[in-house]
Structure 1
Amino acid sequence: PYVLCPFTEPEVIAQPPIERQHCHKFNKQLSSQRITVEHAIGLWKGHFPSLKDMPPEQDICDTYHVVEVLVALHNLCIDLGDHLQCIPFFENHSTYEDDNGDLDDVDVNGYRGAEDAAIGVELPAWETDKWLREAGQWQQNVILDELFPV
């Protein structure tokens, strides 16, 4: 799995003019997709408001399982035509309007990269932070070439 990041300004500036335009187009397309994903997450938080107050778990595997189950339940609600407004006593304090995309509610203090992610999860030894970063950059370039061939 990869987290697809936009090209940084120094990366864009280092490119020849044609590829610079492609990098800007890539970043714009990625940004529009991110907005769609953030909207979906906002709707998901609307179905399950407890997600906003979910305390950090000690066991990351349990957290992943909870998220997987809630995503499945959310998709079931969508498939079955469940509407939040039809739930008795439902108060729409906000679904995604106050979700400004900032990560204010995420505490990354003490996160040490792959070694923290590996708690309770068996990662291959070669999946270091450096390797993941390089693999992500390679994947970013592959997608750029597919979207905007030179």
Structure 2
Amino acid sequence: YSIRPFADHDLTNDPEEAARRTRWNAKLSSLRIAVEHCFGRLKGRFPILRHFPGHDLDYIFRQIEAMFILHNILEAYGDDPETIEGYNGREDPEVDEIMGDIP
């Protein structure tokens, strides 16, 4: 932080500007929450996304992109993963153990 002869809040005492910032922050927060929910659904459907093996970023990107496409196709056809026996929407407890075996 630099030393200034004024405080930052002196620059933002404009009530109209404060209202605009509040609206902006509310919109940004709601979008962030929506994105987090989307990633949560993807991780529930594809638990490997939590511990993706490998270091080849191009390969990883292609795999994740394929999962996004597959997820969208399944959603378009009305697939409900909650109807799968044993599906809980979260990572399976054995994933850490299984992922430890993958080089």
Which aligned pairs between 1:1-150 and structure 2 lie closer than 5 A?
13=9, 14-15=11-12, 17=14, 18-55=16-53, 57-87=54-84, 89-92=85-88, 94=90
Q: CA RMSD in A?
A: 2.1
When normalised by structure 2's length, the TM-score is: 0.67
The count of residues paired between Structure 1 and Structure 2 equals 82
Greater fraction of residues in helix: 2
| Structure 1 stretches of at least 4 aligned residues deviating more than 2 Å after TM superposition | 12-16
Q: Cα gap change, 1:93/1:84 in structure 2, threshold over 3 Å: closer, same or farther?
A: closer
Q: Which has the higher contact order (CA 8 A, sep 6+)?
A: 1
When normalised by structure 1's length, the TM-score is: 0.48
User: Contact (CA 8 Å) 1:84, 1:90: kept in 2 or not?
Assistant: no
User: Contact (CA 8 Å) 1:47, 1:84: kept in 2 or not?
Assistant: yes
SS in 1 for 2:63: helix
